[in-house]
Every structure is written in C-alpha cells, then in structure tokens.
Chains A and B, each alone.
Chain A
Amino acid sequence: MDTFDYRRPASVREALRLVAGHPDAAFVAGGTDLVTLLRDRVRTPGRLVDINGLPLDGLRWSRDGVRIGALCRNAVDDPRLAAAYPVLVRALRSGASPQIRNRATFGGNLLQGVRCPYFRLPEFACNRRDPGAGCAAAGGDGRLLGIFGTSAACVAVHPSDCAVALVALDATVVVEGTRGTRRIPVGDLHRLPGDTPHEEHALRPGELVVAVEVPARPFAARSTYVKFRERASYAFALASAAVAVHSEHGVVRDARICLGGVAPKPWRAHAAERALRGERLDAATVEAAAEAATAGARPRPDNAYKVELVRGVVRRALTELGEK
C-alpha cells in the first residue's frame, strides 16, 4: 500500500473541501471494504478523508419515514426500524459478520466494490478497475457472476444486501456536494456497466452520501429478505430477494421485488411485481411471480443455476409473506 495524505474533517463542509479538486481522494467510513481494496491495490487513493468524525449517524423519524445517517452502523438495533422495515433489518443481519456490521456504515455499504474475483485480483484484466483493460471474467469462471444487467465489458455482481432492501423500500440517498444537496433513488445509485463499467455510480466527483431516506410506504411493514448462500453464514449471496407486499382485502395492491447477488446493481424485478398486482397471494400467484422474476436473465452455462435460485428466493419470500 502506498502512503496517502490522511485527513479527518470535523464538518461536512470541510470534508467536501478536502476532496474538491483531488480526483484521487477517497472517503473512508467503516473501512471494511476499502481497507481490503487498498491492501490489494485495487484502489490507490492519494488522500484518504476519514468522515467518522462527522455528525452523520443516528436515525431521525418523521411522518414521512426515517432518515438514516450515512455513518449509522449496519449493526443498528432499533425495534422501531425492525417493525417498520423488516426487510431492511433482515438484510442487514444477513450481511457479513457481527464484527463487520459493528463497523460498516450505510453509506459505505451502498458504495462498496463489486464482488467479482477478477476485479479484486489485480493480476487479472478488469475494465471496472482499469478502464479498457479487458474483462478476464468474460472467459473465466463465472459461477458467482451476474445473470442480469451485465455487459460484454463487465459481468460483476454488487454484493450489498442492504442496498437490495433499500431499493425494495423506494429509499433515496441524500448527497452533499460543493454545489448543494441532491437526492438519488437508491435504485439509480449504481450504474449498469455497459461500455463504461468504471463509472460505478451516479455520484459526481467530490460528492458525499450523508443519509438514506426510507419513506413510509404501505408495503414497507409487510416485507422480508431471503438470502441464499453457499454456507450457513458469513458469505455473500448467490441470490437474494427483498420483497414487500401491500394487500387490501386479500388482493395485492402494490409490491416490490428486488434481487441481490445476480446483477451489477440491486435488480428490480418489475415483471414479478406486475404478476402480483391485483392478485391474491396464493400458490399460483407466487409461482407466476417467481417465474416472472427471471425475465430478462441472460445466464452463461456456468451460472445458469442462478436462474433457479432466483425463482427459489422469490418463492420463499412471497410464501413467507403470504403466511402473514
């Protein structure tokens, strides 16, 4: 690891000033992903701006929902959050390990690097890491890689559980820049790779995520997260589903289904949501939605099994909600 200029600002304004005009500056919060990327030389910032001193933690409740500070740790243990947004708390608790959740923050979780072995090993060519270098994963082992939203230039998956839940909850990130505050739906935060996989997210240079706003939606409380992985715990998802359903008189009025572990960003399964609306949440509907969730999948032979896993996680999550 090369040395860097370490700064610890006391205010958001100071933090923004420290990165303005420094394209090689990086923010660090929990550090649980960034430190490994520094060590493996996937990321080589010349300046590290430690934002842990900023007043960006805690939850703020209002009629409209909750605002979660970007520095709120993933271990957040709040009964009200668990009651209002079960999918979010379950996603958080399925992530990493207790030690990592105690450090990892909401902002950092959303902006963590993709989980593609070829991205994380500088010995391999990677367009996301080194624009134009090529994609070794394309001809490599793709068992863990994406089946939705990938491109010839990049087949990586985004590993966040939390982000998948937040997309299902219509959450928004609040971003501060020197030119003011912006709001970006979490669903628009990560970019699909296309020909420019190195342009990973919608933040402009120098912008800082300061909060996540989760609205009060009718479907939020009836929601769950199902994560499927290779071992019982402490592993990234092979596939996961964040599902939220609002029914009236036994008929689904609105629903959200978002998939994790299968795409370069949390993958909203719109077709599956449509399959639910106006239907009773019975076995046939669940089956139809599980099938619809695979619409648009473009697997390779070595990750075709993920298509079945997508059906499985959606079926399991909807069945669970149907029983409520």
Chain B
Amino acid sequence: MVDHAGAMADRVWRRYDRKQRLTRYAALLITVMVVYWAVRDIDIFWPWVWDAPNQISNLGARMWPPDPSRLAAITNALLETVHIATLATALTIFIALPVSYIAAQNTTPNRACLWLGRFILVSSRSVNTIIWALLFVAIFGPGVLAGILAIMFRSVGFIGKLMGEAIEEIDRRPVEAMEATGASKAKVIAYAIVPQVMPAFFAIVILRWDINIRESTVLGLVGAGGIGVILQGAIDTFAWPTVATILIAIIVLVLIGEAVTGLLRRKVL
C-alpha cells in the first residue's frame, strides 16, 4: 500500500506533461459525450423517474412489518440454498483442477490442451450463473439439479483460472529436483506442485464458496431451486411482508457465510 501511494505521488508530479493533459481532456470529453448519448437515447419515461422515490418508499412501507409466519419454509429453503452452494463447490473441484492443470503454461502437456483449457475457462467465466441456470432449467427442468449444475459451470472458470495462475507462479526449483531423482510426471506433480499450490487452493475454494452462497440465492428466480423460489412466489402473490422476511433471511445467511469463511481462512491458512 505504501509503495502504491508512492507510485501515485510520482504520477501526480508528471501530470503537467502536455500529451497526458490532452489525453485527459479527450477522455473527459468522450465520457461526457457518451453519458449525454446514454441519457438522451435510453428508453425511459422520465416522469416515472421523478416518481421513483415515491414508488420505492411505497414498496418499502408495504413490506413493513416483516411477516415471520412462513419462517419454517424459509429456513428450509435457506438450507437448500446452502446445500446447492456447498455441493456445487465440492463437485467443481474435481473438474476445475484438471482444467487448471492443462490451462497453466508450465504444466500443460501440449498447445492443444492449453487452448482447450483456456477455452473451457473463458466460456465458463463469460456466462453468468443465472444464464447457465436458464439453460439447465430448460434441459433438466426446474429444480436443484439445474441449480447445482449452473453454479458448477460458472465456478469451474473461476477456480480453474485462479488455480492455473497459482500453478504458473510456483517455484520451479523443487520441480527440477524431483525430475533429477528420476520421478515420473505424476510423482513430480504430487511432490513439487501440489504442496506449493495447496494454500492457494484452500483460499480459492473458500472464496468461491462464499460467492456461491450469494449466487445460489437467485437461482430460484429462474426455477433452479433454493430461497429464490419462495422469493419469486412471494413477489408474484404481492406478499410483501413475507418478501421482507426473506430478504432479512438472505442478509443473515450471507453474513453467516462470511463469518464461516473468515473462520475457515484463519483455521486452515
């Protein structure tokens, strides 16, 4: 952080350079123009915008007080949400590790594997969980399986990319030493690579589990299981006090998730 601040301070001194100044003005001008275009062109009925604060506070008022009568169902749905996130994260590991192995430049068997690995990672990462869920609901019908698959397909890219980077950053020297003992490729991986990426692995999986808990709260909105199903139902029936309870429950879940990941990080790492 200190270094960073130092670098920034340096930059400030150089900003009176003519070319940089022009670039700055050009960037500002382009930003203003783009924003102007966006505001003029966007398909918004402006009187609604001025009415929006009213509408929002209206909705807020309808939610108050939260109605706890369906708490049992909500708790069950929350558990389902956690299960989806946990199982999906656990299953993802089995796919993400081989993919990261072939997608890391220093371990990939050949160029074809490297590109295959990168293709898998990029396509997994560029499609949002909820879009994956849409696809899997269309294939397997509404339910938790679609949810688990959606979370898995998105997580493979995340875990795979970060693990690939961790593999690329390992110290080469133990690998060299293991090769010199006459160890086969598999043994070199087990001794020189696995121990080095272990801490990164735990950190990445824990991080992704935390993210997956958040993501699995919305799966139900497209029918892929979890708390979202109840939320959608409550919204559709205008049961706003129940909606409020569900929202509070989600916050509690996310905070618990954060506390658990914080605890795990301290215990494991």
Partners in one complex: no
B residues in contact (CB < 8 Å) with A = none
A residues in contact (CB < 8 Å) with B = none
